[in-house]
């Protein structure tokens, strides 16, 4: 044990088996509280794999990360601002078309992701065949099939998690391309976003939110900035300028 704790976030739609996986991994080493300042429950737990210690957070299940609800806001803010060492996106292998949406949204925020196809037992019963290799090539991050309830594939999933947190894999996450006009405006915004908020935040994703006119992201970023710089920064993004 080298003492370093890697942080994992579990993201995905409701009912994809996130809590089942969380419980399998952590057993009794878990506790439930609330998200800071919120009435939404937060489950945090701990486990070890190959002599490394992990802390894992079970994010609220959401269909998207555009912050239409408290759950979505919590999930996206955790991934974007708290920056876990890896986000494991748990997808229901029996309805991939619907589930891939959240995977793409996570990949827009972070490069450090593993896609976990759960419920492969159910998928097999329905005759659904999924090529992990093809999906992995398209998405640019590891894709691992599991059945959380039947404890199938868990160690492969953890090996993938470990290689991502240790930076052992070349990751090239799929980034959605928008039209030329939007891409140009993203390019225009990037230098300002990077110089104001630093290079550790997901600048492209922030640019997209600003172009959407997402006012809450501006408040979140300004609060974060104030916190980090203790009021020492005079320029802030103002709402409604984009």
Ligand X SMILES: Nc1nc2c(ncn2[C@@H]2O[C@H](COP(=O)(O)OP(=O)(O)O)[C@@H](O)[C@H]2O)c(=O)[nH]1
Residue closer to ligand X (CB basis): 75 or 186: 75
CA gap 4, 131 in Å, rounded: 34
Q: Binding-site residue total for ligand X (CB under 6 A)?
A: 17
Using CB under 6 A as the binding rule, whether residue 204 contacts ligand X is answered as no
Residue 149's binding partner, choosing from ligand X, Mg ion, none, with beta-carbon cut-off 5 to 8 A by kind? ligand X
CB of 155 to Mg ion, least distance (A): 22
Residue closer to ligand X (CB basis): 12 or 202: 12
Question: Which stretches of the chain bind Mg ion, using CB under 5 A?
Answer: 18-19
User: Cα torsion at 11, 15, 20, 23 (round to 10°)?
Assistant: 50
Query: Which strand ranges, in their side-by-side order, compose the sheet holding 86-92?
Result: 30-34, 41-49, 52-58, 5-11, 86-92, 113-118, 143-145
Two tokens, residue 146: 């599991």
Residues 67 and 216 sit within 8 Å (Cβ to Cβ): yes
Residue 119's binding partner, choosing from Mg ion, ligand X, none, with beta-carbon cut-off 5 to 8 A by kind? ligand X
Which range binds ligand X by CB under 6 A, 17-25, 40-48, 98-106, 218-226?
A: 17-25
Radius of gyration of the chain (CA): 18
Which range binds ligand X by CB under 6 A, 72-80, 119-127, 210-218, 229-237?
A: 119-127
Among 53, 55, 111, 121, binds ligand X (CB under 6 A): 121
CB of 70 to ligand X, least distance (A): 16
Residue 16's binding partner, choosing from ligand X, Mg ion, none, with beta-carbon cut-off 5 to 8 A by kind? ligand X
CB of 199 to ligand X, least distance (A): 33
Using CB under 6 A as the binding rule, whether residue 147 contacts ligand X is answered as yes
* Residues 6+ positions from 227 with CB-CB distance below 8 Å: none
Two tokens, residue 208: 């997209």
Residue closer to Mg ion (CB basis): 19 or 101: 19
Residue 32's binding partner, choosing from Mg ion, ligand X, none, with beta-carbon cut-off 5 to 8 A by kind? none
170 CB burial (10 A radius; 0-12, 13-18, 19+): exposed
**Residue 170, SS3?**
coil
Residue closer to ligand X (CB basis): 145 or 209: 145
* Residues 6+ positions from 20 with CB-CB distance below 8 Å: 118, 148, 149
């Amino acid at each position: 044990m080298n003492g370093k704790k890697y942080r994992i976030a579990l993201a995905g739609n409701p009912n994809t088996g996130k809590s089942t996986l969380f419980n399998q991994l952590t057993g009794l080493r878990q506790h439930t509280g609330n998200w800071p300042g919120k009435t939404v429950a937060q489950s945090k737990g701990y486990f070890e794999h190959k002599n490394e210690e992990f802390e894992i957070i079970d994010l609220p299940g959401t269909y998207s990360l555009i912050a239409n609800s408290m759950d979505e806001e919590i999930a996206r803010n955790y991934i974007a601002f708290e920056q876990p060492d890896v986000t494991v996106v748990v997808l229901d292998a029996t309805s991939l078309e619907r589930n891939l949406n959240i995977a793409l949204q996570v990949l827009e925020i972070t490069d450090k992701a593993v896609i976990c196809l759960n419920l492969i037992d159910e998928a097999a019963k329905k005759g659904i065949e999924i090529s992990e290799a093809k999906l992995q090539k398209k998405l640019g991050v590891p894709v691992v099939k599991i059945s959380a309830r039947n404890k199938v594939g868990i160690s492969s999933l953890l090996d993938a998690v470990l290689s991502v947190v240790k930076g052992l894999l070349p990751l090239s996450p799929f980034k959605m391309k928008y039209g030329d006009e939007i891409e140009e405006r993203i390019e225009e915004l990037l230098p300002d976003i990077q110089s104001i908020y630093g290079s550790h935040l997901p600048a492209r994703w922030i640019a997209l939110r600003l172009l959407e006119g997402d006012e809450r992201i501006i408040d979140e970023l300004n609060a974060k900035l104030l916190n980090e710089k203790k009021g020492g920064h005079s320029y802030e993004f103002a709402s409604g300028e984009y």
